[in-house]
Structure 1
Amino acid sequence: MRLQNNSVQPAACCICGFRLVNRSHGSKHSHRHLIKVRCDGSDRQSESAPQSKSSDQAPSRPDPLPNVISQPAQTVAWGGRLPSQRRAVLGGLAGLGIVLASNLGGITSGLLGIDGGQTAATLRADTLYPVRGLKRCLDLQNGYEFQYPGNWLADRTLYYRQAQRAEQINRLDPPSIGRPRQRRSVAEPTAAFGPAGSTGEENISVIVAPIREGFRLESLGSAEEAAKRFLSTTVAPEGSGLEATFLAASSRRDDSGELYYTQEFRVKGPKWTRHNVSVYAARNGLLYTLNAQCQEANWPQLAPGFEAAAASFRVLSTGRATAGFPQRL
C-alpha cells in the first residue's frame, strides 16, 4: 500500500532561495538581509525579513512622506517628476515677456534708458514707455513729434472732438443740403498733454495751421525780433489788459535743415501769471507751433520737462498739405 506524503514542502527565501523549514516540524530557520537604498546622494540601510503566514507578525507600516527640503529627490519620486527643461525655459520667457510688456517696476523704462534713450528714440519705443522720465508724441498724420513728461496724460476732450470730426468726414450718409458742413478752427490743437487731475492751465500743445504760400521764418527777422513782434501783436496787443514780458529767444536747425524759432516769455493777467515756452516751424505751407505753459509759481519744477519738449520738437516729412484746411493765416 502506498502512503501519501502530506508533509509541506519547505518554502524558499525570495531573495537568496534558501530553503526554510516549516515551524510545524519542530524546527525553524530565519535569516535577514541588509539592503542599501541610495536616495539623494546618501545611503540608508533597511532590513527586510522573510514574510511568514503566521498571524503574530505586525502589519507593515506605510512609508512616511518624504521631507521636501532634505530629500527633494524622494519627493519627486513619491509625488511625480520635475517639469521638462523646455517647459521651464518657456515659462521663464513668458514671465519675462509679461514683466517687460507691463513695465513692471519700471524695468522696461530702465533698460531703454541705458544708452541715454538713443535706441528707444530710434525704435520709437518711448511712445509706449517713459524713458528717462519722458514719453514721445508721434503724429504722422500732421507730421511732427516731441517729448513730454512721462506721467502726463493726453487731453481726452481734444481726442474726442477729433474722433467726431473724423466720423463726420468719413460718414457713409450723404451730406445734408440744407445744413452746411462745419469748418475746422485753425487755432485748434492737434495734440495736448497735461498733469492728471489738472484744470488744463498747465499743458503742452501743438497747433498746425495753414499760412501763406512761400512763408519762411527768416522773413520775420531773427528769433528775438520775431518773438517781440509776436508778443506785441498776438499775445498781448494794446488794449487786451495783458502784459507780456520777453525772457529769451533762440534758433536751431535739425538734420534736414529745417529752421526752428524758440521763445520764452511771461504773460500777466488781472489774476494770474503764466510762464510760456513756444517753438515755431514752417513747412509745406503750414505753421507748426508748440506751446508749453504753466503757472509762474510752478515753473521751477516744470522747467526741465518744458525745455526737453521744446528741444525735441521736430517737423516730419509725413505732414499733409494745406488742402485739408479751409483758410490761410
Structure 2
Amino acid sequence: MIALAVLIIELTPAHFIYTGPFLTAVPALAAVTMGPKRTALAVALALAVSVTTATYNQAWGTLQVYTNFLALVLVSLAGFITSSAVRAYRRSELEQVRRIAVAAQEVILRPVPERLGPVRAASLCLAAGTGAQVGGDLYEAVQTRYGVRMIVGDVRGKGLTAMRAVAVVLGAFRVVVHYEDDLVGVMNHCAAALRREAAVPGAYPEEALMEGFTTALIAQVPDDEPVVQLVNRGHPPALVLHEGRTQPLMPTSPRPPLGLEDLITGPPEKPESYPLVPGDRLLLYTDGVIEARNLDNDFFPLSETMESISFSTTPEEFLEQLHHALIRHTEGHLADDVAMILVDRLDEGVGIPVI
C-alpha cells in the first residue's frame, strides 16, 4: 500500500510531496511482519518504484534520488539483519519450549515394560508437527493381581490443558488398577478423577470445561484365561491379530467418552470378553493411527498393514514396522499424535505372579 501511494503521488501533480521516507518504510515493515522471501520482494518493489518515479520525473543525477537509494539500501540491509536475528531467537526459544514440553510428556508417558505376566509388550508414541504443543494421547500397562491391565486414551485438544487431563487419568489408573477388581470400576474412577479436577476453580479454561472429553479403552489380560476383557468409552476398537488375520473388537453396547457420562443410557455396563489365545497379538491405539491420510486423502490401512508384518517380529519390531508404514503413508506429515500398545499372548502358565 505504501509503495502504491508513493507511485500515485509521484506520477500525478502531487509529486511535489517528498516521498523518500515513505519508501524506506516498506523494507522495514516487511522485515518485521514477513519472511525472508516476501521481504526481498518488498525491497525489490520499493526499488522498482523508486527507479520508475525517478525516471518519470527526470530526477536522475540529483542528490535527492541518490539519497533515497542509499537510505533504501541501508534500511533493507538493517531489516534483513534484524529479521534474521529475531527469527533465530524465536527458533531457539521455541526449541527450548519444545524440549521442555517433550520432557514433561515423557515423564508422564513412560514406555511399557517388555514383559508383563502372560504377555510381551511394547509401546510407541509419535508427536504430530505441532510446534511446542504437547498432545493429549495417553497409554499405560500395569501388571496386577487381576492380570495385565492396560489403558489407551485420547484427550480432546492439545497443550497444557490436555496434558493435565492426561496426568489426571493416568494417575487415577495407576493407583486404582491394583485394588479395584471390576474393570468398569477402574474406568469410573478415571472419569471421577477428571470430574474432580474440572471442579477445581481455575483448573481449566471455561471453554475446555464445556467442550472437553476423553476417549478411553481399558483392557485386561488375565493370567489364567485365554481372553481379553475390554471396557470402551468412545475409543477406536482394539484389534486382535489371529492366525494372520485382524479382527476389530467392537463393543456391543457403545458408550460415550469420559466427561459425557450424562449421555449413558441402557443397562449397567459390563466388561466384554474376547478370545486371546497364545500366539495372538492385541493392538490398542489412538485415532491418530486410523485417521492418518496420504496426499490422495486415503486413510492409513491399519488392518492390512498389521497382516503384512511378519509374525516372527518382536512386539517392539512390530510397532517399529507399523511406525515406518505410517510415516511412508503420510510422507512424514502426521496430522495428529499417535499412541499404540502391542501385546503378545504367551503360553498359559508362563506369567509372573503378582503378590
Output the TM-score relative to the length of structure 1.
Answer: 0.31
Q: Greater strand share, 1 or 2? A: 1
Q: Which has the higher contact order (CA 8 A, sep 6+)?
A: 2
Q: Higher Cα Rg: structure 1 or 2?
A: 1
Output the TM-score relative to the length of structure 2.
Answer: 0.29
